Amino acid sequence: MPKEKEIQSLSEVTVRFAGDSGDGMQLTGSQFSDTTALMGNDLSTLPDYPAEIRAPIGTVYGVSGFQLHFSSSDIHTPGDRPDILVAMNPAAIKKNISELKPGAMIIVNTDSFDRKNLQLAKYENNPLEDNSLEGYEVYPVPIGSLTSKALQGTSLSQKEISRCKNFFALGLMYWLFDRPVDQTVNWIKKKFAKKPEFITANTNALMAGFNYGENTELFNTRYIVEPAKLPKGTYRSISGNEATALGFLAASVKSKLPLFLGSYPITPASEILQYLSNYKNFGVKTFQAEDEIAGITSAIGASFAGNLAITTTSGPGLALKTEAIGLAIITELPLVIIDVQRGGPSTGLPTKTEQADLLQAVYGRNGEAPVAVLAASTPSDCFYMAIEASRLAVKYMSPVILLTDGYLANGTEPWKIPHVDELPEIPVKFWTKKEDFAPYQRNENLSRPWVKPGTPGLEHRIGGLEKANITGAVSYDPDNHDLMIHLREQKIKNMVNDIPDLTVDGDMEGELLVLGWGGTYGAIKEAVIKARQEGLNVSQAHLRYINPFPKNTEYVLKGFKNVLIPEINLGQLSKIIRSEYLYPVKQLNIVRGLPFRVSDIVDKIKEILGGNL
């Protein structure tokens, strides 16, 4: 008879699953996340993929990880340092040990700690035997052999049985945190509907892990994390890429424009193309182009034809799209370019996050070529900023760049699904009158008419050569060029009257403002909360509109003695703020391919305000 387990209540937990790419850690983490969301916990996730497509098995470079932070209260980050590491091989420990909290729990698949795997991970000695893990709670579990034992008698090969061990680990974690297995069982049934032997095997492995936790003497404690008190509504777990796709789908419905995506697959933006390809029933057209240039130019053509046109990419692809962005600017057609930023330069760190494309987005084109630049702040905010980018693009007949990043794209959080009536309308009116038509006449926003090709009597040409004001004829007149440069610039500046003011969380004036943009929002939010709990005078503001800035930005900055800007780059927003407002901001720049740790920002806040404690 197993000893009755102690039940311990926790307010929050950070768990990291880690193993080889073939160990199914992303699947394990996403299933644990989905179940945790159904339990009502607030959560935030951080998948961490190997940078190489086929990294050598058993090596540190081949480790795939998935981190989940879940809580009974409001949270904003995937957690700084894990409380629990589930390590499927020695390399997983080698890579992650320095990231763990002191005294963290490590659940180890002991079957993988053979000589070969230890050598691949560059261990001279077995860390389970040489006291190098002293100070951690290590739970040795022969996950591989227990999975094989649970699946004895099945028709699966030994290799196929080995692939089920992630479900054993998932079942054990479900038991440890009192999570139901039903959601995952239903997922298995749906996923392997045509392979009943896989349904049986994976379900048995899941239940074997759950029952092992219940019956083994190794674990004496189970943990409960109560549901969070979130505002009433219908929630789902959503990633930034999925939210971006759904945002453009909503913008298509609200504008009554057919949606066209022309794109070339690139990590970490490819999923937006994949998600939108599933919505043909909404009239969505997705075109997987042969290269980045074809992707954006096909979108420009679709825009000319009267579509809500978008193109997706990451940093290297944005560089390739540069000339065509200039074409969209000079033809004054609406277009949204989504840049899911990743580590650079060049191919850089394809699966890691970074914020280093801001200067490229704002300035990176030949000639005077201004575009609007927006940035989403959380995975669910990608939905709303996709709608906003679409609204500004069609209202001002201009390209808009929407910046997200690898952390936002792949990370997930609970999203309160809005009612369609809560979303803003996007009014669109194509020009159809023959009278008084000129291709480059302008309305009060300085936007030119949007005319569908083939509209009788409204034939006109577009192209990359400079246009004469009003008529749209090719023009090399010096004064006309100067005028058109200023008109296109002013059109972007006019958006300042159509975007919300910068809001401040905390006092409107004081000792320190922490100003951020993009995916740093959550880390800054939690850092500011912790600093206030220690009695520090600190406020937070976060920019979602970067070109143009909100009209009250300078007013907000001047209310504080110090302004700190944390960025996952070497200070790109800091450069723009100094240039625009001549304000001496302070910088915090850590470029590791990972989100900020909350503790890094708290330490910097304390350093700045040290004299005021």
pLDDT tens, position by position, 177-204: 999 999 999 999 999 999 999 999 999 9
Quick one: average pLDDT of 360-381? 97
CATH class for domain 10-225? alpha beta
Quick one: average pLDDT of 254-270? 97
CA–CA distance from 144 to each of 150, 283, 371 (Å)?
Answer: 10, 47, 54
For residue 447, what pLDDT is reported? 97
Pick from 531, 589, 535: nearest CA to 564? 589
For residue 391, what pLDDT is reported? 98
In percent, the amount of the chain with pLDDT more than 70 equals 99
Topology of domain 236-422, per CATH? Rossmann fold (3.40.50)
**Which residue intervals of the chain bear CATH 3.40.50.920?**
504-612
For residue 56, what pLDDT is reported? 83
pLDDT tens, position by position, 230-239: 888 999 999 9
Confidence band for 417, pLDDT divided at 50, 70 and 90: very high
125 pLDDT more than 90: yes
Residues 6+ apart with CB under 8 A from 422: none
Least trusted range by pLDDT, from 230-239, 249-258, 507-516? 230-239
Q: Which is more confidently placed, 263 or 237? A: 263
Output the CATH code of domain 504-612: 3.40.50.920
In percent, the amount of the chain with pLDDT more than 90 equals 93
For residue 1, what pLDDT is reported? 57
- The per-residue DSSP string of 526-584 comes to HHHHHHHHTT--EEEEEESEEESPPTTHHHHHTTEEEEEEEESSSSHHHHHHHHHH---
For 421, what's the count of Cα atoms within 13 Å in the CB-facing half-sphere?
Answer: 0
Quick one: average pLDDT of 573-589? 97
436 pLDDT more than 90: no
Tell me if 315 sits within 8 A of 409, measured CB to CB: no
For residue 2, what pLDDT is reported? 62
507: helix, coil or strand?
Answer: coil
Quickly tell me which residue has 């899941």 as its tokens.
206
613 pLDDT more than 60: no
Quick one: average pLDDT of 419-440? 94
Quick one: average pLDDT of 138-156? 94
**Which residue intervals of the chain bear CATH 3.40.920.10?**
10-225
Quick one: average pLDDT of 69-80? 94
Tell me if 136 sits within 8 A of 104, measured CB to CB: yes
CA angle 384, 390, 395 (to 5 degrees): 125
For residue 504, what pLDDT is reported? 98
282 pLDDT more than 70: yes
Quick one: average pLDDT of 574-582? 97
Confidence band for 50, pLDDT divided at 50, 70 and 90: confident
Q: H/E/C letters for each residue in 226-244?
A: CCCCCCCCCEEEEEHHHHH
Quick one: average pLDDT of 571-583? 97
- The per-residue DSSP string of 354-383 comes to --TTHHHHHH-SSSS---EEEE--STTHHH
pLDDT tens, position by position, 165-182: 999 999 999 999 999 999
For residue 4, what pLDDT is reported? 79
154 pLDDT more than 60: yes
For residue 549, what pLDDT is reported? 98
Model confidence, pTM: 0.94
Mean pLDDT computed over every residue of the chain: 95
Quick one: average pLDDT of 59-72? 95
Quick one: average pLDDT of 569-584? 97
* C-alpha to C-alpha distance for 316 and 350, rounded to whole angstroms: 10
For residue 612, what pLDDT is reported? 47
Quick one: average pLDDT of 128-139? 95
309 pLDDT more than 50: yes
Tell me if 68 sits within 8 A of 78, measured CB to CB: yes
* C-alpha to C-alpha distance for 225 and 39, rounded to whole angstroms: 9
pLDDT tens, position by position, 322-354: 999 999 999 999 999 999 999 999 999 999 999
Quick one: average pLDDT of 558-579? 98
611 pLDDT more than 70: no
53 pLDDT more than 80: no
* C-alpha to C-alpha distance for 545 and 385, rounded to whole angstroms: 10
Residue 218 dihedral angles phi and psi, to the nearest 5°:
-65, -40
For residue 51, what pLDDT is reported? 77
For residue 258, what pLDDT is reported? 98
pLDDT tens, position by position, 461-481: 899 999 999 999 999 999 999
52 pLDDT more than 80: no
Does residue 142 have a cis peptide bond before it, meaning omega lies within 30 degrees of 0? no
**Which residue intervals of the chain bear CATH 3.40.50.970?**
236-422
